[in-house]
Structure 1
Amino acid sequence: MSQPIGVLLVNLGTPASYQVADIRRYLNEFLSDTRVVELPKFLWQFILKGVVLPFRAPKLVEKYKEIWMDGGSPLLVYTQAQGEALAHKFADENIIVEIAMRYGEPDLEKAILGLREKGCERILVVPMYPQYAASTTATLFDRVAQISKKMRDQPDYRFIKRYAEHPAYIASLAHKVEEFWRLNGVPQRLLLSFHGLPQRSVDLGDPYYDDCHKTAALLREALKTYNVEIEVSFQSQFGKAKWISPATQTVLERYPSQGVHNVDVMCPGFAADCLETLEEIQLGCAEAFKAKGGKQFRYIPCLNADPMWIDALAQIVKDRLGSWS
């Protein structure tokens, strides 16, 4: 029998619990990454250790508690479901599917070593970020290289850089929206909220902003028969630096004065629901919208482990496996 192929689904990461210590530990690892915060290391570590970790972590406790699930954080629960569903799709193809997080648990290094112990000479790394950004996709590739640097016998790797325009991904998003509208009716406006990025990153050549708009353009085309205006915004701004715009909450707060009182919001840049979608958008932005006179705010969940998305993910993986499979 031929050697199995490893497929490693990797998402960003999550605290082990909503306790302050675990949140602080996660934030410290995440925000210490120089790909994530591109400030002089000495200056940023002073701010991180002296201001961010002591004050921000406690504020996140209640936010995480609001969305926590029986199996852990939503990001972990849904990523595990994605991994299990994809493994089932590949059950007859000598492909081993594992999940990992760039920060926190399940640990990326343990996942790679685990695949090697199962006989995987070839490993496909699948970042669960449809749109490429240096602060997400590139830092994952950096970490894989860092882990492999310690190995005497390294595996053969392949990576997926992005799937922002992949037809199967776009079709999954469109199906998600269509099913939601079939059950609930169409809104006045559909807002696609992507994670934010400092403007400086884009100015330095990061293609993320363009990737987001490419996804939005293809989704508009797929949904054009509904005659619903679809706009793009960016969420989760942090710090005082200029970020790519427009900001999601600002857009939503302006809608009522523009006559838009019924809005649906979707987050296509997140493969799985998490704090940024469930607490920030579904709860926080909904409240801000209604406080300005908005009447109906509906959040369309992420793809999570939807069967059509798992089929699409399998197709994306197979396309990249190419001659391996």
Structure 2
Amino acid sequence: MEKTAVLLVNLGTPDAPDAPSVRKYLAEFLSDPRVIDLPRWKWLPILHGVILRVRPKKSARLYQAIWSEHGSPLLYYSRKQQAALETRFRRDGVRISLAMTYGNPSIAGELSKLHAWGVRKLIILPLFPQYSSTTTASVWDSVRRAMSPWRDVPELIFIRDYPDHPLLIDALEARIRQCFSEHGTPDTLVVSYHGIPVRYARSGDDYPSRCMKTTEALIRRFPGLDVISGYQSRFGNEPWLTPATADILKSLPRAGKTRVCVIAPGFTSDCLETLHELKMDYAGLFRASGGETFHYIPAPNDSSLFIDCLENMIRNHLPVHQPKAR
């Protein structure tokens, strides 16, 4: 078989939880027109003149609160996913690489290594279950830019998304049931996704409908349970998708629902948005609004069921006669 590789891609993380590292990371992230699509003449002075002077120090403190002995949680769990897949595909000769859209390891750097290795079939697997122009399309842009000088372009397979893949839903269901087993069935399960501006959705980004596919699949697994879907992590002043997860959590105690569990199916690895925004900030918000118990349900991370999901998607693009490595 010709040399085959898989490039897993997650969003990214600063190299360290300090202001200089966060500033470098945010400069790359917030300069991407897929993330902030304002005219460059209008946006870049705001970014470099205001945001990158103020936000890095504040964000660094948040990263410090979630940083572990292994470093960045997002990079740590992404590496664990990579290692698990390497074990499963070792006998197949398929190379598993990992890159970040922003920060390190970079998409360009990892693709350069695969090019030097002689890759002839390349599967790009963004670790975002629900497509969005702000995440998945940015991966596409980076891959295209990195490969544009190559004369020997490999066969390229780009996995757009997998919002209701049965094995993904199995992994999420297992996380939810474990939480219920440990803490009891809540009054409400809140399903939270990272938000995007309403304008992006109106101009063609089908992210809201992709999120709804995941939520609907979870509802089918938990008939009779009150499940509410919302959006978090708003940035800037323009309208974002609603309902906001924060507003949902503030309203639930007024409706007599004081016990909640929260899951964020858009994040396949725990990160700042899950471990700080949801688990810390939103838990405090819920309790301050009259809520009694709040439990954050971890991301799939390196759970065997989620690795099954990734393996299945990869094997769907490999020759049928290949032995399945376990």
TM-score (norm 2): 0.96
Paired amino acid for 2:255:
Q
**Residue 238 of structure 1 aligns with which residue?**
235
| Displacement after TM superposition at 1:323 (Å) | 6.5
Cα separation, 2, equivalents of 1:154 and 1:114:
14
| Displacement after TM superposition at 1:174 (Å) | 1.1
**Residue 143 of structure 2 aligns with which residue?**
144
**Residue 132 of structure 2 aligns with which residue?**
133
Cα separation, 2, equivalents of 1:286 and 1:116:
46
Distance 1:321 1:41, change over 3 A: farther
| Displacement after TM superposition at 1:62 (Å) | 1.1
| Displacement after TM superposition at 1:155 (Å) | 2.0
**Residue 40 of structure 2 aligns with which residue?**
41
Structure 1: runs of 5+ lacking an equivalent: none
**Residue 296 of structure 1 aligns with which residue?**
293
Matches within 5 A, 1:78-89: 78-89=77-88
Cα separation, 1, equivalents of 2:317 and 2:204:
25
Matches within 5 A, 1:55-66: 55-66=54-65
> Which of residues 251, 266, 269 in structure 1 aligns to 2:263?
266
Distance 1:11 1:312, change over 3 A: same
Cα separation, 1, equivalents of 2:207 and 2:317:
21
> Which of residues 272, 277, 282 in structure 1 aligns to 2:279?
282
Paired amino acid for 1:115:
L
Cα separation, 2, equivalents of 1:3 and 1:241:
49
Contact 2:66 2:275 in 1 (8 A): yes
| Displacement after TM superposition at 1:324 (Å) | 9.9
Structure 2: runs of 5+ lacking an equivalent: none
Cα displacement string for residues 84-135 of structure 1 (whole angstroms, at most 9, x for unaligned residues): 0111111111111011000110111111121223332111000000000011
Cα displacement string for residues 28-51 of structure 1 (whole angstroms, at most 9, x for unaligned residues): 000000011010111000110111
| Displacement after TM superposition at 1:71 (Å) | 2.0
Structure 1 stretch displaced more, 312-321 or 66-75: 312-321
| Displacement after TM superposition at 1:72 (Å) | 1.5
Distance 1:3 1:322, change over 3 A: closer
The percent identity for this pair of structures is: 37
User: How many pairs align?
Assistant: 322
Paired amino acid for 2:165:
H
**Residue 181 of structure 2 aligns with which residue?**
182
**1:98 matched to 2:97:** yes
**1:209 matched to 2:204:** no
**1:247 matched to 2:227:** no
Paired amino acid for 2:116:
E
| Displacement after TM superposition at 1:4 (Å) | 2.8
Contact 2:168 2:305 in 1 (8 A): no
Paired amino acid for 1:293:
G
Partner SS state of residue 134, structure 1: coil
TM-score (norm 1): 0.96
| Displacement after TM superposition at 1:78 (Å) | 0.5
Contact 1:160 1:320 in 2 (8 A): no
Cα displacement string for residues 265-285 of structure 1 (whole angstroms, at most 9, x for unaligned residues): 000001110000100000000
Cα displacement string for residues 236-282 of structure 1 (whole angstroms, at most 9, x for unaligned residues): 00000000001111110111111111000000001110000100000
Cα separation, 1, equivalents of 2:280 and 2:51:
23
Structure 1 stretch displaced more, 123-132 or 148-157: 148-157
**1:314 matched to 2:278:** no
